[in-house]
């Protein structure tokens, strides 16, 4: 039962002993002989202390100074304090209450009175804390999402004439900040941003942390928003200690139609902020009709995905991969397409990010792998040389299935060997839990699958990761090649990467080759393979078969049935 802890701050040893005797049957008791010692204890045990009993007259640091200091620290200030006053000094009692004490007890001590007061204050605080738990965000002390929405509804109802906007703020590179400085520093930064928001907001406005690094603010309407206002806010936040180079995006939803739910209003402001992700020049965006249509389209995609899979609206396309030495087709990449009724073909750029978020990607990927194996089996049966085909593997796939088992069963089912199925994994897949993914990749590689690192150079490429990974092939992102051709300052990087890859015994595939000049450049640098519109666009399985026939058909008639694999 003795699970509650009380801190007794009293310089007189005898008094401490008396208090100990009164309390120790029911509570665990910590002791401090002055205010300074008490602050040291608070620093260590702040979360475990249910109440403080405080004497006012003490050497080193008296009770009032202690009260003042502890009330200034938000985490300490919630702990109730009972001040022990001399006799019936009204002046002492008033002063204690003015400094933030919860209650007082006069000396000399009367055990039953002390026990009752302590118990009822602890009880009161716990009940209040329980109620507040749902109202406030634990990390920042701002309103919780639910309570914020409740308060906004109330405010809108009570002020039908006033005009408000919902403003959302998103820190674009917060994940990077967390990775670089650690979660603790990240939390501290969020707390400081929260404080900054409370200072920015008017007394009649409301602020909450919606989730993670997203803050939402109900603000009185400003006629027009401009960059200057948001740049000023960015500066304020970036002026916080440690918060250098935070890139912030602001989204605004103008509350005109009050029949829209508050949750939806917030979602729309967040959507507006997200719409300018990665756009260096844009600091804020106002939710408009075009965004509404886009949001609806996204909802529609999610609603229709299951049916689309059932009704075979998804189709696997193949984009040839060419050998730069011979100029011949050396393989392909399987890419998903969605034959959407009415709208026609929609590109994966539109739906893959949504499916990655809701997990559907894993089912879709398995569909692609299966169809790819089916086509490969068919081409093999028709006598075409067996060419390796690369399939994309999402980060979610590592967590949602036993990859090794699923992929091995697939190749066996279709009479293929695992080294003809190449697995493309993007570098970003490694960012969250690199060890686990590295381990799984190693297992897959032992099973014979060929591992390709996709989109290398598109994100924050880490040479360190390149060093740790068990890899076979490096796929250079198309942006890499483009900037090498256009920005003189980037010259040399590509050569360096290709040389590094070769030194690590990796083959290199250049993606997105669109022109003759690009092809010559990467060929001269020593890339083994290339993929891109210059050679061919992604095409249906039937069309790819026609291509195979053009390229290898004659050989089949010659009786030659295979090309040598180049790994």
Angle between helices 262-274 and 289-310 (to 10 degrees): 90
Distance CA 19, CA 7 (A): 11
Among 278, 344, 349, 488, binds ligand C2E (CB under 6 A): 349
Q: Work out whether 428 is an interface residue with ligand C2E (CB under 6 A).
A: no
Among 22, 330, 352, 473, binds ligand C2E (CB under 6 A): 352
Question: Tokens in use for 457?
Answer: 């150079």
Going from the C-alpha of 168 to that of each of 152, 224, 307, 493, the distances in angstroms are 14, 16, 34, 39
Query: How many CB atoms are located within 10 Å of the residue 177 CB?
Result: 21
Q: Of the two residues 392 and 507, which places its CB atom closer to Mg ion in the complex?
A: 392
- By CB under 6 A, what part of segment 88-127 binds ligand C2E? none
Contact string (CB under 6 A) for ligand C2E, positions 451-490, x = contact: ---xx----------------------x------------
Among 140, 178, 322, 392, binds ligand C2E (CB under 6 A): 392
Q: Work out whether 515 is an interface residue with ligand C2E (CB under 6 A).
A: no
Distance CA 357, CA 493 (A): 33
Write the Ramachandran bin of 331: left for phi over 0, alpha for psi from -120 to 50, otherwise beta: left
Cα 392 → chain centroid: 22
Over the range 195-214, which residues count as b (16 or more CB within 10 Å of their CB) and which as e? ebbeeebeeebbbbbbeebb
Least distance to ligand C2E, CB of residue 443, Å = 20
Q: Work out whether 518 is an interface residue with Mg ion (CB under 5 A).
A: no
> Do 102 and 143 meet the contact criterion of CB atoms below 8 Å apart?
no
Q: Work out whether 234 is an interface residue with ligand C2E (CB under 6 A).
A: no
Distance CA 273, CA 168 (A): 7
Q: Of the two residues 34 and 319, which places its CB atom closer to ligand C2E in the complex?
A: 319
Dmax of the chain from CA atoms? 113
Q: Of the two residues 327 and 479, which places its CB atom closer to Mg ion in the complex?
A: 479
Q: Work out whether 392 is an interface residue with Mg ion (CB under 5 A).
A: yes
Beta-carbon contacts of residue 299 (< 8 Å; ≥ 6 apart): none
Give all strands (DSSP E) within 341-490, no chain letters: 344-346, 389-393, 421-426, 450-456, 473-476
319's contact among ligand C2E, Mg ion, none, with CB below 5 to 8 A by partner kind, is ligand C2E
Q: Of the two residues 222 and 347, which places its CB atom closer to ligand C2E in the complex?
A: 347
Distance CA 297, CA 340 (A): 12
Distance CA 81, CA 384 (A): 83
Q: Work out whether 362 is an interface residue with ligand C2E (CB under 6 A).
A: no
Least distance to ligand C2E, CB of residue 514, Å = 4
Distance CA 283, CA 229 (A): 10
Q: Work out whether 427 is an interface residue with Mg ion (CB under 5 A).
A: no
- By CB under 6 A, what part of segment 397-426 binds ligand C2E? 424
Q: Of the two residues 52 and 481, which places its CB atom closer to Mg ion in the complex?
A: 481
Among 424, 427, 484, 528, binds Mg ion (CB under 5 A): 424
Least distance to ligand C2E, CB of residue 277, Å = 17
Query: How many CB atoms are located within 10 Å of the residue 47 CB?
Result: 8
Coil, strand, or helix at residue 99? coil
532's contact among ligand C2E, Mg ion, none, with CB below 5 to 8 A by partner kind, is ligand C2E
Q: Work out whether 397 is an interface residue with Mg ion (CB under 5 A).
A: no
Name the segment binding Mg ion (CB under 5 A); options: 390-398, 400-408, 437-445, 559-567.
390-398
- Residue closest to ligand C2E (Cβ): 532
Phi and psi at residue 307, to the nearest 5°: -60, -40
> How many amino acids of this chain bind ligand C2E (CB under 6 A)?
24
Name the segment binding ligand C2E (CB under 6 A); options: 131-139, 159-167, 233-241, 529-537.
529-537
Q: What angle do CA 183, 187, 190 make, to 5 degrees?
A: 135
Q: Work out whether 320 is an interface residue with ligand C2E (CB under 6 A).
A: no
Positions in the binding site for ligand C2E (CB under 6 A): 319, 335-336, 347-349, 352, 361, 365, 368, 392, 394, 424, 454-455, 478, 511-514, 531-533, 538
Positions in the binding site for Mg ion (CB under 5 A): 392, 424, 454-455, 511
């Amino acid at each position: 039962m003795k699970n509650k802890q009380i801190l007794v701050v009293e310089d007189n040893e005898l008094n401490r002993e008396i208090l100990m005797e009164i309390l120790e049957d029911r509570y665990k008791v910590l002791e401090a002989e002055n205010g300074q010692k008490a602050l040291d204890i608070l620093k260590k045990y702040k979360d475990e202390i249910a109440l403080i009993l405080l004497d006012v007259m003490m050497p080193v640091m008296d009770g009032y100074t202690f009260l003042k200091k502890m009330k200034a620290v938000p985490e300490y200030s919630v702990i109730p304090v009972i001040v022990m006053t001399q006799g019936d000094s009204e002046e002492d009692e008033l002063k204690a209450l003015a400094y933030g004490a919860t209650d007082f007890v006069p000396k000399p001590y009367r055990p039953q009175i002390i026990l009752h007061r302590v118990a009822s204050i602890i009880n009161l605080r716990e009940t209040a804390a329980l109620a507040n738990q749902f109202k406030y965000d634990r990390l920042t002390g701002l309103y919780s999402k639910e309570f914020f929405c409740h308060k906004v509804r109330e405010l809108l109802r009570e002020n039908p004439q006033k005009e408000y906007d919902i403003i959302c703020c998103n820190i674009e590179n917060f994940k990077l900040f967390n990775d670089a400085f650690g979660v603790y520093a990240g939390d501290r930064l969020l707390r400081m941003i929260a404080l900054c928001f409370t200072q920015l907001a008017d007394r009649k406005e409301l602020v909450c942390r919606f989730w993670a690094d997203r803050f939402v603010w109900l603000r009185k309407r400003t006629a027009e928003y401009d960059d200057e206002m948001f740049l000023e806010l960015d500066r304020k936040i970036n002026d916080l200690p440690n918060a250098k180079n935070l890139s912030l995006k602001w989204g605004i939803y103008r509350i005109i139609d009050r029949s829209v739910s508050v949750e939806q209003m917030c979602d729309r402001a967040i959507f507006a902020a997200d719409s300018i992700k990665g756009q260096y020049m844009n600091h804020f965006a106002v939710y408009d009709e075009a965004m509404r249509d886009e949001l609806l389209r996204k909802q529609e995609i999610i609603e229709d995905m299951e049916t689309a899979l059932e009704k075979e609206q998804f189709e696997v396309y193949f984009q040839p991969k060419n050998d730069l030495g011979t100029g011949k087709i050396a393989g392909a990449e399987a890419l998903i397409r969605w034959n959407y009724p009415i709208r026609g073909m929609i590109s994966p750029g539109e739906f893959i990010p949504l499916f990655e978020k809701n997990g559907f990607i894993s089912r879709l990927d398995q569909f692609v792998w299966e169809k790819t194996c089916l086509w490969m089996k068919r081409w093999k049966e028709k006598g075409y040389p067996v060419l390796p085909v690369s399939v994309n593997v999402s980060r979610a796939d590592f967590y949602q299935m036993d990859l090794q088992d699923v992929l091995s069963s697939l190749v066996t089912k279709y009479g293929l060997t695992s080294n003809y199925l190449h697995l493309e994994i993007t570098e970003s897949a490694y960012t969250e839990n690199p060890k686990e993914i590295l381990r799984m990749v190693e297992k897959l590689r032992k099973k014979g699958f060929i591992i390709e690192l996709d989109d290398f150079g598109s994100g924050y490429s880490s040479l360190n990761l390149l060093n740790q990974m068990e890899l076979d092939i490096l796929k250079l992102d198309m942006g890499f090649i483009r900037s090498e051709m256009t920005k003189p300052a980037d010259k040399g990087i590509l050569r360096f990467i290709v040389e590094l890859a070769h030194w690590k015994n990796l083959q290199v595939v250049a993606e997105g080759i669109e022109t003759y000049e690009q092809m010559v450049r990467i060929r001269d640098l020593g890339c083994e393979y290339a993929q891109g519109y210059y050679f061919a666009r992604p095409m249906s399985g039937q069309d790819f078969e026609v291509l195979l026939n053009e390229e290898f058909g004659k050989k089949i008639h010659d009786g030659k049935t295979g090309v040598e694999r180049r790994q």
